[in-house]
A and B are shown apart, each in its own frame.
Chain A
Amino acid sequence: MILTFPKGGVHPPDNKLSAGSPIQVLPVPGTVTIPLSQHLGAPAEPLVKKGDSVITGQLIAKGCGFISANIHSSVTGTVARIDRLPDSSGYRRLMVVINTGKDDWQEGIDTSPRIIKNITATGGEIIKKTLAAGIVGLGGAAFPSHVKLSVPKGKKADILIINGVECEPCLTSDHRLMLEKGEEMIIGIQLIMKALDVKKAVIGIENNKPDAIKHLNSILKEYEGVTVQPLKVKYPQGAEKQLIKAVTGREVPSGKLPIETGAVVHNVGTAFAIYEAIQKNKPLIERVITVTGKNVANPSNFLVRIGTPVASLIEAAGGVPEDTGKVVNGGPMMGKALNSLDIPVTKGTSGILLIPESESSRRPAENCIRCARCVSICPMGLEPYLLSAASENKKWEMVESEHVLDCMECGSCSYICPSARPLLDYIRLGKSTVSHIIRARKQ
């Protein structure tokens, strides 16, 4: 049976131009810039200083606190400087700049393509190694994975959901990974199941990827407890709460974590990274990134070292098209527009999208005609028109009482609005203001 989440959702054009393009290994660039804050939570603390030699896979920054992640060098070379440089959000953050040399890997890392099926690590070891390998959620939010593997006291996980939805238009990195690294990914799923102590795992895939569904099903015959669940194509199905709802019918209560429902969600890329960390002893230093766009010469999927500048990826896909008006880190619905091509890719970068000039700016906003489209498509059951208007008028109490904090910023409301109103822009303003107010109230 094909499932989906019941409330709201939109159908933006798919534009998966790079779906048929196999993953290519991008050459190691001359310089990498590795941010120390690539994950949600506290930035990592650097362990190296200017002039140090590092080798590929070496720990160069240590996670700071429970919600944080280790950072490893993605190349072999010399630390040129540690400096505050702009990241994809536009803010300057601490980054380690490394000039690369010969690509030597740290001892103990298995770089052979051999698949190791036999799982010897215990649950505790899996969590420890995931923490050590600096693995974060590769779906985009970059939440440290070891946190999600450690079920809080008093809670019990009974189902693992693997997110292979890739509901963002244009992106195909998860799709290619499922096709090309399916078996490794499934072993990764077994590892996560062991760490969580769950007997059941479901891989959710939208049925615009029938080849991935078929491929994984053919491998899964050998593996117990893991099934593929085809899902109807609908954005934002890859959102954690919507995916849990679609697969299990359970609804994460407002303001609570998914574990309340007994479900834990990990991305397919994360499952693959955990496989590599545990079975191959390889920290998270590279990932698959889609480079695409209407006028891009060769829409591609690359295996990229973390810290590679965005410009190198675009160059490899045929260069920046003449009429490019916007470069987005991520997909068209939730990605961030970049202000420079020197910004490095991070663990959370799933794609680079080049949008033509003609599609780069919005139409001028018109009056709200109260057509109620935003209300009917909001997957969280909110009223975007109301939240937006209340934020615009600085009615923060109303913004809070109308559940602004449930908004996950999927962008469906701004997408659907026939008057081209900047709904999500105002809702973001309301969300951050209300968060500050709540924090101030608690102090």
Chain B
Amino acid sequence: MDKLITVSPSPHYYGNEDVKKLMYGVVYALLPALLVSVYFFGIGAIIVTGISIVSCMAFEYLIQKHLLKTKPSVTDGSALVTGLLLAFNLPSNLPWWIIVIGALVAIGVGKMTFGGLGNNPFNPALVGRVFLLVSFPVQMTSWPAPVVSRLRYADAETGATPLGVVKEGLEAGVPFSRLLDQIPGYLELFAGYMPGSLGEISAVALIAGGIFMIARKIITWHIPVSILLTVFVFTGIIWLINPYDNADPVFHLLSGGLMLGAIYMATDYVTSPMTPRGMWIFGTGIGIITVAIRLFGAYPEGVSFAILIMNAFVPLINKYVKPVRFGEEVKYG
């Protein structure tokens, strides 16, 4: 043979997965929820999602090209996922300039300051979302009502989220059973018929996407299951102790951003633990903090804060929670 051959260390086969495929897998999984959102919130959902995606990708490109002077990796799909998830965490009537600020904070502060994809300790979309929630509390908590204002964007008719209704009602001393009349039925909640952030509403669409991601091995089941189980058990115990003054666990599972957070936000690769045991600790922590904020905190919803708080513990979890080593626990002589 007279030509040069490649000499490289093994392995010589490589799997066919890459970052782009994984990121687009997440995008496909989010599509059903987006469609439901467009059905309920109309053009608002389309506008907010569009602005969020475009500005996230633009900021990623501009920052990489002009500030960091690195080769832009905007096509890897991670900024697309961040943009989509940020939009999912916003009300569909949010003014465009607030969305652009959110995207700048998410990509600029949440991701690029740490060195880009893979290095950020906090979920970028949640960094953006929480920044907006703290900075623009009024705009961020005026939720468009479903169906009625499909053709309106910024001036959409608004209503309170079920979580808000229940929290306010319970604090005013109204029993939970009476509050049930003021919120949509559980089947409607399951389908997504409620005011809320544009992507969080439909449990059924989010679960379908989650099953798709688990089947395609994009994520593992550990984090979503541990979060949902913890919330169910924790709120279940409190409800059993005092069903009069507390919402039942099914309501907690179906309302607010729990499904979105548990399936799509907490499972972000970069900001979640590396071992199944670590994922259980992480998920349980998120569940407990979420319920604590919902029941005892000032906000009606706490999933975003819970995930960000547990994000901060991930390096610690990774340091101390190790996989079971082969040959470590030997049970015979």
Contact = CB atoms under 8 A, between A and B. Distances in A.
A379 B269 CA distance: 21
Contact of B269 (A359, A371, A414): A371
B134 interface: no
A13 B327 contact: no
Interface in B159-193: none
A26 interface: no
A328 interface: yes
Given A250-B332, A326-B5, A369 B270 contact: yes
Interface stretch (B9-17, B34-42, B226-234): B9-17
Contacts of A379: 326
B1 A324 contact: yes
Interface string B63-76: 00000000001001
A228 interface: no
A353 B12 contact: yes
A411 B327 contact: no
Query: Which of B9, B14, B330 gathers the greatest number of chain A CB atoms within 10 Å?
Result: B14
Given A251-B326, A372-B269, A381-B323, A332 B18 contact: no
B14 A325 contact: no
B133 to A, nearest CB: 26
Contact of A416 (B1, B5, B15): B15
Interface size class of A (residues with CB under 8 A): 35 or more
A418 B22 contact: yes
Contact of A406 (B12, B118, B276, B325): B325
A344 B255 CA distance: 69
B283 to A, nearest CB: 14
A162 B311 CA distance: 48
A372 B220 CA distance: 10
A367 B117 contact: yes
A433 interface: no
B322 interface: yes
Contacts of B328: 254, 381
A363 B326 contact: no
B194 to A, nearest CB: 33
Contacts, number: 168
A145 B146 CA distance: 75
Contacts of B323: 375, 378, 381-383
B19 interface: yes
Interface in B108-122: 115-119
B139 interface: no
A360 B117 CA distance: 27
A261 to B, nearest CB: 8
B21 interface: yes
Contacts of B272: 370, 372
Nearest to A254: B327
B274 interface: yes
B324 interface: yes
Given A333-B13, A353-B12, A372-B269, A320 B1 contact: yes
A370 B269 contact: yes
A259 interface: no
A7 B327 contact: no
A367 B326 contact: no
Contacts of B275: 372, 375, 383
A158 B312 CA distance: 51
Contact of B326 (A13, A361, A370, A381): A381
B10 A334 contact: yes
A133 interface: no
A251 B332 CA distance: 9
Interface in B203-232: 220
A381 B327 CA distance: 9
A181 interface: no
B324 A361 contact: no
Contact of B11 (A251, A255, A333): A333
Contacts of A254: 325-328
B8 A361 contact: yes
Given A254-B326, A379-B326, A420 B14 contact: yes
Query: Which of A325, A363, A375, A380 gathers the greatest number of chain B CB atoms within 10 Å?
Result: A375
Nearest to A336: B10
Query: Which of B8, B13, B117 gathers the greatest number of chain A CB atoms within 10 Å?
Result: B13
B13 A13 contact: yes
A414 B11 contact: yes
A366 interface: yes
Contacts of B8: 326, 337, 360-362
A380 B21 contact: no
A383 B325 CA distance: 9
B17 A416 contact: yes
A221 interface: no
Interface string A335-360: 11111010000000000010100011
A353 to B, nearest CB: 7
A411 B22 contact: no
B7 interface: yes
Nearest to B328: A254
Query: Which of B73, B318, B327 gathers the greatest number of chain A CB atoms within 10 Å?
Result: B327
Given A370-B118, A418-B22, A420-B18, A337 B6 contact: yes
Given A10-B15, A362-B14, A409-B10, A367 B116 contact: yes
A274 interface: no
A324 B11 contact: no
A253 interface: yes
Contact of A382 (B6, B12, B325): B325
Please name the 5 residue pairs, one residue from A and one from B, whose CB atoms are nearest each other, closest first: A411-B11, A367-B118, A254-B327, A381-B325, A332-B13
10 contacts: A253-B330, A355-B12, A366-B73, A370-B118, A375-B275, A379-B326, A412-B11, A415-B13, A425-B9, A428-B9
Given A261-B332, A370-B118, 14 more contacts: A90-B7, A256-B327, A326-B8, A328-B10, A328-B12, A333-B12, A337-B9, A359-B12, A360-B5, A360-B12, A370-B269, A379-B326, A382-B325, A417-B15
Interface of B: 1, 5-15, 17-19, 21-22, 73, 76, 78, 115-119, 220, 269-270, 272-276, 318, 322-330, 332
